[in-house]
């Protein structure tokens, strides 16, 4: 049952060694099933009810802006990915414009992602229109921060573990471990950019002390980022997850002043204390007019109730 056992590196990702290798692949056969495959290239799903089990997605051996797994081209519907691992085998020169990590490990809709281990990309999972995504019991962690990122206004990556683009509906995020830090051992990571630290600077910069003064790897921006871009938002449910790190655990972008929402639920989650900000961390940021049900959330270490939102 989702939310009972905390996902980690020991109980997510492929369980048995991959037995064959495939390069870039486009799938057009409905009901196709892939087991114990290592994919050394972008996988594009253009079929219904495709399943992947115990696979390793590594992306191409050279520069590409594509996700490792693309699942948004018609007539894709009903894709299921479970017990798979997503890492990168290539990192382009910083600022070259050819980086393979300019996008997420997975990008799609009408899909179920379950018990996967996702790391090493700029973002973890993108959910795009129309939505209809079930993200259950995954371990998303250790993303790739770099600067300068010529695709970003402030020249640094804005790393999000899960990002909802353009207002997708019916997104269920249950029982995941979302650790919003980046891996400073990955290639080409910039270290100690001037202006970082508690007195100012971008929250993604390396070695940003937490509220107790300890130094952690670079912060990702958020565990869950909602970017509706003027669209409405409905039936977004986040329940029984473990979330820590980042500038804010959940960011429903407060810059969208006319955003409408219904059925947004944040319940029974467990917060970690390694977060940028005050002693209790920034748990949720949203426009103060946005209706959100927020109950039953606690700190993981002592089960102290914490249901605080910051109104943008």
DSSP 177-227: EEEEBB-TTSTT-----TT-STTSS-TTSTT-B-TTS-B-SPBPSEEEEEE
Instruction: Report the pLDDT value the prediction gives residue 282, as an integer from 0 to 100.
Output: 64
pLDDT of residue 1: 78
Give the span between the Cα atoms of 13 and 271, in whole angstroms.
23
pLDDT, residue 204, reads 39
Structure tokens at 2: 């989702």
User: How does pLDDT run across 32-41, given as a tens digit for each residue?
Assistant: 999 999 999 9
- Average pLDDT (60-69) is 81
When the pLDDT of each residue in the chain is averaged and rounded to a whole number, the result is 81
Residue range 240-245: average pLDDT? 93
> What's residue 199's pLDDT?
27
Q: Which residues of 3-34 are buried (b: 16+ CB within 10 A; e: fewer)?
A: beebbeeeebbbeeebeeeeeeeebeeeeeeb
| Statement: residue 206 has pLDDT above 60 | no
The answer to whether the predicted template modeling score (pTM) of the entire model surpasses 0.95 is no
How much is the pLDDT for 60? 85
| DSSP, res 92 | P
CB 227 within 8 A of CB 211: no
Asked whether residue 236 carries a pLDDT value surpassing 70, the answer given is yes
Residue 20 binned pLDDT confidence (cut-offs 50, 70, 90): very high
CB 183 within 8 A of CB 175: no
Which of 32-36, 123-127, 275-279 has the least mean pLDDT?
Answer: 275-279
**Torsion, Cα of 148, 65, 188, 140 (10° steps):** 110
Q: Where are the domains of the chain?
A: 20-311
């Amino acid at each position: 049952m989702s939310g009972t056992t905390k996902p980690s590196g020991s109980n997510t990702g492929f369980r048995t060694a991959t037995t064959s290798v495939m390069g870039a692949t486009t799938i057009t056969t409905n009901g196709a099933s892939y087991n114990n495959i290592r994919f050394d290239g972008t996988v594009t799903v253009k079929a219904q009810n495709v399943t992947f089990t115990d696979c390793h997605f590594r992306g191409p051996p050279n520069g590409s802006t594509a996700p490792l797994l693309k699942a948004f081209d018609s007539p894709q519907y009903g894709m299921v990915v479970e017990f798979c691992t997503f890492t990168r085998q290539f990192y382009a020169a910083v600022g070259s414009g050819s980086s393979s990590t300019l996008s997420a490990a997975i990008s799609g809709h009408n899909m179920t992602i379950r018990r996967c281990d996702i790391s090493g990309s700029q973002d973890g999972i993108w959910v795009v229109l129309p939505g209809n995504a079930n993200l259950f019991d995954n371990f998303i962690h250790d993303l790739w921060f770099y600067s300068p990122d010529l695709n970003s206004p402030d020249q640094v990556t804005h790393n999000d573990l899960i990002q909802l683009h353009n207002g997708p509906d019916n997104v269920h995020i249950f029982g995941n471990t979302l650790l919003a830090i980046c891996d400073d051992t990955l290639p080409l990571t910039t270290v100690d950019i001037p202006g970082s630290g508690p007195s100012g600077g971008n929250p993604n910069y390396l070695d940003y002390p937490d509220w107790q003064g300890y130094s952690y790897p670079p912060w990702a921006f958020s565990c869950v980022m909602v970017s509706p871009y003027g669209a409405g938002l409905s039936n977004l449910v986040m329940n029984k997850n473990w979330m820590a790190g980042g500038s804010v655990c959940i960011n429903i972008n407060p810059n969208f002043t006319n955003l409408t929402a219904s059925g947004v639920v944040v319940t029974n989650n467990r917060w970690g204390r390694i977060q940028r900000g005050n002693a209790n961390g920034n748990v949720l940021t949203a426009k103060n007019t946005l209706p959100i049900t927020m109950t039953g959330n606690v700190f993981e270490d002592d089960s102290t109730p914490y249901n605080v939102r910051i109104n943008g």
